[in-house]
Amino acid sequence: MGRIGAVLIDIDGVLTVSWKPLPGAVEAMERLRAKGLPLLLVTNTTSRTRASIAAKLAASGFPVGVDDILTAPAATAAYLREHYPGARCLLLNTGDVGDDLTGVTLVDVAETAADGDAAAPDVIVFGGAGDAFGYPALNAAFRHLQRGVPLVAMHRNLYWRTAGGLDLDTGAFLLGLERAARVEAEITGKPAEAFFAGALAQLDATPAETLMVGDDIESDVLAAQRCGITGVLVKTGKFLPEALDAATGTPDHVLDSFADLPALLERGGGG
């Protein structure tokens, strides 16, 4: 591993589970801060705004502020403003992230329920799965997609780790909808290359000097490695041994937890 000058860090399953810090995570981040390493928390979390995430983490002792966080909703807003300016967007998402969707016009499912083209949204946007992903909403999205409305998804994660175990996420619904409607979603969060490019730009860092830490081998680690970023998989959160065995590639590094990252960087010349 070459000298690391910047670190990208997933949140859910790496730093916290159900927003409670994992053992040693706060102390490890404090050690990275003490080294002066530029850090950016990059997350597909769609239930909270950047400000809410920053406040929650700071209350738990993590040395982070709102400018240290890049979320899939924030990246989605930038994508929609660039590719679908002025579009009326039908958002399916569990959680209020409206403050991070600046410049995006949102419409309610009830406003788009009619079959006429005049009532159709310009874009279907999928956020995080939950109660919002009921049959009426999914079927309404399906009908709009059949009429040619494009589909944008913040991510395609199949599941995530909560205090109660693994819960289904957007990808479990997205795969079926894509197949039924014969469309392919435009992904804006991880593992999209543009998401990682945006993160690097925010840190003013190059791929070769940057490291990504995640618990999702495909969306976090291998996706980063395809962008030239060093990947580190942690065995916390959604990590499953069988997922590692079936992965499409091999992580650059595998650690038991984020708490082990400072030692890895010290061995490899980071900081």
CATH at residue 239? 3.40.50.1000
Same-domain pairing of 167 and 226: no
Contacts of 14 (CB under 8 A, 6+ apart): 22, 25, 213, 214, 215, 234, 236, 237, 258
- Domain-terminating residue out of 187, 207, 225: 187
- Domain-terminating residue out of 187, 218, 241: 187
Same-domain pairing of 83 and 182: yes
Same-domain pairing of 220 and 173: no
Residue 95 pLDDT: 86
The pTM score is 0.87
* Residue 57 forms part of a structural domain: no
* Residue 124 forms part of a structural domain: yes
* Residue 59 forms part of a structural domain: no
Same-domain pairing of 78 and 183: yes
Residue 3 pLDDT: 85
Dihedral sign computed on CA atoms, order 221, 225, 228, 232:
positive
Residue 110 pLDDT: 63
Contacts of 84 (CB under 8 A, 6+ apart): 122, 123, 150, 152
- Domain-terminating residue out of 187, 213, 239: 187
Same-domain pairing of 209 and 238: yes
Same-domain pairing of 169 and 201: no
Check pLDDT > 80 for residue 113.
no
- Residue 243: domain span: 6-44+194-269
How many structural domains does the chain have? 2
* Residue 230 forms part of a structural domain: yes
Task: Give the model's confidence band at 118: pLDDT under 50 very low, under 70 low, under 90 confident, else very high.
Answer: low
Same-domain pairing of 128 and 204: no
* Residue 157 forms part of a structural domain: yes
**Hey, what are 106's tokens?**
């949102």
Same-domain pairing of 261 and 179: no
pLDDT in tens, 121-180: 999 999 999 999 999 999 999 999 999 999 999 999 898 888 889 899 999 999 999 999
Among 192, 194, 195, 228, CA closest to 211: 228
* Residue 125 forms part of a structural domain: yes
Check pLDDT > 90 for residue 271.
no
Same-domain pairing of 204 and 230: yes
Contact 146, 159 (CB under 8 A): no
Q: What residue has token string 């060093």?
A: 230
CA–CA gap between residue 256 and residue 193 (Å, rounded): 26
What is the DSSP-derived secondary structure letter of residue 94? Answer: S
Same-domain pairing of 255 and 204: yes
* Residue 216 forms part of a structural domain: yes
Q: Considering the chain, what is the average pLDDT of its residues? A: 93
Q: Is 253 exposed, middle or buried (0-12, 13-18, 19+ CB in 10 A)?
A: middle
Same-domain pairing of 143 and 200: no
Q: Which residue has the higher pLDDT, 268 or 167?
A: 167
Q: What residue has token string 């950047």?
A: 50
Same-domain pairing of 217 and 150: no
* Residue 53 forms part of a structural domain: no
